[in-house]
Structure 1
């Protein structure tokens, strides 16, 4: 369990490609946080089924099973939650995490990555996490395409500000 400024910090994320993962790793590095990558259980059908699921999953509202995780999110004071934007919403594995953990009375900071419109990602997440205190939210437009170093610096600066606001 990591401790930064007296806070136990966790970064939870789902990443379809390297974009959200790169931001999550930058935030974790800056805040000395533990990382929890959300991994859907692989269904039969391999890659083809995976791409169909990713393309249609938001509108069909599935809640995919996740591989078990060893970290207990309830034991953290501050949780960063990150997702790519899919169909102007957050990715279904994040919904699975929210339903499974039933977080309450936590400091939550939200981040998303996208290459188009951001949609209503934060509004939806804030509604789902209403029993918590949202301490920050930021989006990153095309972190890989716009420059990994720039995105890493921006996410590290933001994470530092979030921690400072809790001091």
Structure 2
């Protein structure tokens, strides 16, 4: 379902592996949206070290510096925000984005990917986005492990529902 109303749509995501990225790309393709990948300047290495860092990052509440991006999120009508779940919250690079973007009066749809408990990801994001209208949320359990095609189809169907809700 292409974006027929010429609404400007943006998909913003952070992904440490292919899970959140694959969902974000499916949504962007389905909605004819621009895509913004959040990239922290400081990189962490190794899968085991990365998971330890992920959990500690959330509990220590850091706001990592992001690589510069040329997209102005405030120029968009609808924004999809996606993050993996880390320590039952969203990833710190998304916190950095939310602080930098200072979104207000936007229609926003939230998605997350996880391999365990989802935690309070959406509650926390919604509280940070209180000046906006949240029009949908969805979580994807282990998109890579459950099958990329299954996850892609599920994300496309959800994106279509979101678009219908704002038509």
Q: Same fold (TM over 0.5)?
A: yes
Which residue number in structure 2 is paired with residue 65 of structure 1?
65
SS at match of 1:6: coil
C-alpha distance in 2, partners of 1:4/1:71?
Answer: 21
C-alpha distance in 2, partners of 1:53/1:123?
Answer: 23
TM-score (norm 2): 0.93
Superposed displacement of residue 4, structure 1: 4.4
SS at match of 2:8: strand
SS at match of 1:63: coil
Matches of residues 19-38 of structure 1 in structure 2 within 5 Å?
19-38=19-38
1:108 aligns with 2:98: no
Retained in 2: the 8 A contact 1:4–1:33? Answer: no
Superposed displacement of residue 47, structure 1: 1.7
Q: Return structure 1 stretches of 4+ with deviation > 6 angstroms.
A: none
Retained in 2: the 8 A contact 1:112–1:140? Answer: yes
Unaligned runs of 5+ in 2: none
Which residue number in structure 2 is paired with residue 78 of structure 1?
78
Retained in 1: the 8 A contact 2:54–2:87? Answer: no
Which residue number in structure 2 is paired with residue 129 of structure 1?
129
Superposed displacement of residue 56, structure 1: 1.0
> What is the root-mean-square deviation in Å for CA atoms of aligned residues?
1.7
Retained in 1: the 8 A contact 2:85–2:113? Answer: yes
Retained in 2: the 8 A contact 1:19–1:143? Answer: yes
C-alpha distance in 1, partners of 2:57/2:77?
Answer: 31
Change (3 A) 1:102 1:4: farther
Which residue number in structure 2 is paired with residue 40 of structure 1?
40
Retained in 2: the 8 A contact 1:4–1:32? Answer: no
TM-score (norm 1): 0.93
Superposed displacement of residue 42, structure 1: 2.1
Retained in 2: the 8 A contact 1:30–1:159? Answer: yes
